[in-house]
Amino acid sequence: DFIQIFVRKLRGEDQEEELTIDYVKVNNMTVKMPYQCFINGRFEDAEDGKTYSTINPTDGSVSLPVPPFTLNASVADFYRKPVKTLPAPSLRLADLMEEHQEELATIESIDSGAVYTLALKTHVGMSIQTFRYFAGWCDKIQGKTIPINQARPNRNLTFTKKEPLGVCAIVIPWNYPLMMLAWKSAACLAAGNTLVLKPAQVTPLTALKFAELSVKAGIPKGVINILPGSGGMVGQRLSDHPDIRKLGFTGSTPVGKQIMKSCALSNLKKVSLELGGKSPLIIFSDCDMDKAVRMGMSSVFFNKGENCIAAGRLFVEESIHDDVRKLGLSRRSWVFQQDNDPKHTAKKPQEWLREKRWTILKWPSMSFFMLPTVFTDVEDHMFIAKEESFGPVMVVSKFRNGDVDGVLQRANDTEYGLASGVFTRDINKAMYVSEQLEAGTVFVNTYNKTDVASPFGGFKQSGFGKDLGEDALSEYLKTKAVTVEY
């Protein structure tokens, strides 16, 4: 059964095998788009022949019938033992992703509704950088030599080794399908683990294209496995699995809690959780106003607001509040729909978002996109000031001139702690605020400046464990202490 598939060892050495992949036409362009489950180096249909449709959110059309993972044990083999780390294939994988970047960006746009140019630059671009960065770590994972108390007349020496965990599961959301895959998989592979990844049910296609490229890059069979399907089914089974030693998750806080519980009850597997946020951005009157407005916009609307570190709450110092607003409204590149109607603020915009992922506004026709929306004069107790929107919703409130501690208190008054930002020209204020903000990331005079080398992850109910940077490796390694007496 399902559980057994992970414990089977690879049959013999990897032999070159032809990959069978179907071709699909998109806008008169032929895109090679795998759509089946990828297990042990092969694309497979679901055993019961079932499929589900993945749709293109731009027009609601069906892109492909994807088989959810239902294969049974007899058809799949997995590596159980971790493999040696693979710097060369990892680099080759990054190169291949770059060679195929337009294709990957096209697939990402079709599947997730990402704007093509952003898909190319961010979704795909940062994924390539992430694989390059972690390929560099493959041969630099090492322990320490530690002086310990001597056991006279003998002496002792302790050294530590960093070892892979084994089979790791990765479960990710739909907002940056390929990039979330890259952030977790690259670190997981660099640490020498094998992985089983469940993409979001609605956005499986770049993960499957990635699987194809991983074969071409020479990643051995069974090291990377992609299982499309629902969280309740495939995701839950991964959390419950007795032979998986780690689950890396990015998604919502409630699902993160459920996963942590299942991981604990099954086999106490290690977990890292990158969860939701309602990140504060504080704009002081002594800031570079033009920059603050420009970045304030993108802090909210970048990637259509489907951004875990999106600034969910903007606090603007009273004396510049109206100027910031004017400046914001004058920017033609953003379409605003002002809404101060208390009826609407009471109505939970998130509910519109959650019902159908996006509110359908017939713009462009038949699309699922919601127009950028701004709420001003928001008070902290309102629903929109508390709950993550995960859409293009800006929430602006004022704070009293000079009231640094007051605004900090409001900024920290949340159970989330993913990211935060501050705009000021006063270095002392910037340092003080960055010290006081309870968030895993603080941006000063910038926003959304994530980088592959900088650790990323939240505090409080935004989860724990870091993606990216050196810190991410330790999420996928265990430390062994060896003590020798001589």
Active-site residues, by number, are 274, 308
Check residue 236 for interaction with ligand NAP (CB under 6 A).
yes
6: how many CB neighbours lie within 10 A of its CB?
24
Asked if residue 50 belongs to a known ligand binding site, the reply is: no
Asked if residue 174 belongs to a known ligand binding site, the reply is: yes
Indicate the DSSP class of residue 9: P
Asked if residue 382 belongs to a known ligand binding site, the reply is: no
Asked if residue 252 belongs to a known ligand binding site, the reply is: yes
Length of the chain: 486
User: Using CB under 6 A, which residues numbered 272 to 291 contact ligand NAP?
Assistant: 274-277
C-alpha–C-alpha distance, residues 319 and 338, integer Å:
21
Cβ proximity to Mg ion: between 135 and 202 the closer is 202
User: Min. distance of Cβ 312 from Mg ion in angstroms?
Assistant: 25
Check residue 390 for interaction with ligand NAP (CB under 6 A).
yes
Looking up tokens 């055993």, which residue turns up?
47
C-alpha–C-alpha distance, residues 124 and 176, integer Å:
9
What string marks each residue from 408 to 427 as x (binds ligand NAP by CB under 6 A) or -? ----------x---------
- Sheet of 42-44, strands arranged across: 42-44, 37-39, 224-226, 194-198, 167-171, 246-250, 270-274, 463-464
Asked if residue 200 belongs to a known ligand binding site, the reply is: yes
Cβ proximity to Mg ion: between 54 and 122 the closer is 54
Cβ proximity to ligand NAP: between 89 and 463 the closer is 463
Among 4, 11, 20, 232, binds ligand NAP (CB under 6 A): 232
Check residue 255 for interaction with ligand NAP (CB under 6 A).
yes
CA distances 477 to 275, 294, 451, Å, are 21, 40, 22
User: Using CB under 6 A, which residues numbered 29 to 58 contact ligand NAP?
Assistant: none
Which amino acid, one-letter code, is at 384? I
Asked if residue 173 belongs to a known ligand binding site, the reply is: yes
User: Using CB under 5 A, which residues numbered 181 to 240 contact Mg ion?
Assistant: 202
User: Using CB under 6 A, which residues numbered 168 to 227 contact ligand NAP?
Assistant: 171-175, 198, 200-201
Cβ proximity to ligand NAP: between 266 and 434 the closer is 266
Looking up tokens 């090291």, which residue turns up?
223
Sign of the four-CA dihedral 360, 278, 313, 447? negative
Cβ 441 vs Cβ 456: under 8 Å: yes
| Binding residues with Mg ion: total (CB under 5 A) | 3
C-alpha–C-alpha distance, residues 178 and 185, integer Å:
10
Pick one of ligand NAP, Mg ion, none as the site partner of residue 54 (Cβ within 5 to 8 A by kind).
Mg ion
Q: Which residues make beta-bridge pairs with 43?
A: 38
Indicate the DSSP class of residue 181: H
Check residue 350 for interaction with ligand NAP (CB under 6 A).
no
Check residue 69 for interaction with ligand NAP (CB under 6 A).
no
Rounded to 10 degrees, the C-alpha dihedral 471/263/5/176 comes to -50
Which amino acid, one-letter code, is at 20? T
Q: Which residue is nearest to ligand NAP (CB)?
A: 231
C-alpha–C-alpha distance, residues 66 and 82, integer Å:
29
User: Min. distance of Cβ 188 from Mg ion in angstroms?
Assistant: 24
Check residue 239 for interaction with ligand NAP (CB under 6 A).
yes
Tokens, residue 427: 């270095």
Check residue 464 for interaction with ligand NAP (CB under 6 A).
no
Question: Is the peptide bond prior to 153 cis by the omega test (within 30 degrees of 0)?
Answer: yes
Pick one of ligand NAP, Mg ion, none as the site partner of residue 274 (Cβ within 5 to 8 A by kind).
ligand NAP
User: Using CB under 5 A, which residues numbered 49 to 78 contact Mg ion?
Assistant: 54
Among 77, 103, 108, 111, binds Mg ion (CB under 5 A): 111
Cβ proximity to Mg ion: between 202 and 211 the closer is 202
Cβ 394 vs Cβ 300: under 8 Å: yes
Which amino acid, one-letter code, is at 229? G
Check residue 305 for interaction with ligand NAP (CB under 6 A).
no
CA distances 189 to 11, 243, 256, 346, Å, are 21, 18, 22, 46
Asked if residue 2 belongs to a known ligand binding site, the reply is: no
C-alpha–C-alpha distance, residues 184 and 131, integer Å:
10
Cβ proximity to Mg ion: between 38 and 174 the closer is 174
| Binding residues with ligand NAP: total (CB under 6 A) | 29
In 3D, which of 39, 34, 38, 35 has the Cα closest to residue 8? 39
Pick one of ligand NAP, Mg ion, none as the site partner of residue 111 (Cβ within 5 to 8 A by kind).
Mg ion
Annotated binding site for NADP(+): which residue ranges?
A: 172-174, 198-201, 231-236, 251-252, 388-390
Binding site for Mg ion (CB under 5 A): 54, 111, 202
Binding site for ligand NAP (CB under 6 A): 171-175, 198, 200-201, 230-232, 235-236, 239, 250-252, 255, 258-259, 274-277, 308, 388, 390, 418, 458
